[in-house]
Amino acid sequence: MAKYLPYFAEGEVVKGFGRGSKELGIPTANFPDRVVEALPKDIPCGVYYGWAMVDNGPVHKMVLSIGWNPFYKNQKKTMETHVLHKFKDDFYGSTLKVVMLGYVRPMENFSSVDELIKAIRADIAETEKQLKLPKHEAFKDDNFFKTNGEGS
């Protein structure tokens, strides 16, 4: 896992399936296919934690999932970011920058929406804990969030 991290990604926020906000109460920002396709081919699917920035705003904690979301039986791989900040409005079309710093768990299926929400809340709690560590906190001020170049 460590060979892939930290991983930097940047792209325009596109419409996803609309389930995060509506069904789960946990809104996500989705990257376009080109960003998903640029991931290392053998990076494990699952849930990651790190930092995110929308446009040139402040840097916030984030939880990100990579995969096919077995609960919803997605047909294509996605990168869905839940920024741990309450935004006033949707930000489709904005530029999202993320740095993935750690792996929380593999993708898994759930028997109910409630189970899925419980797992996501546990992912958020783990993210909060991990990002307090100085080695992860330092990335909040990374030059990646201060420049206008493409991430990799």
Active site residues: 80
Residues 6 or more apart whose Cβ sits within 8 Å of residue 81: 28, 29, 30, 31, 52, 62, 63, 64, 96, 98
Q: 46 and 104 in contact (C-beta within 8 Å)?
A: yes
Q: Which residue has the tokens 């991983």?
A: 7
From 122, 106, 98, select the one nearest 50 (Cα to Cα).
98
Q: Give the integer Cα–Cα distance in Å for 147 and 150.
A: 9
Output the CA torsion sign for 8, 10, 16, 22.
positive
Q: Give the integer Cα–Cα distance in Å for 13 and 92.
A: 5
Under DSSP, the state recorded for 38 is T
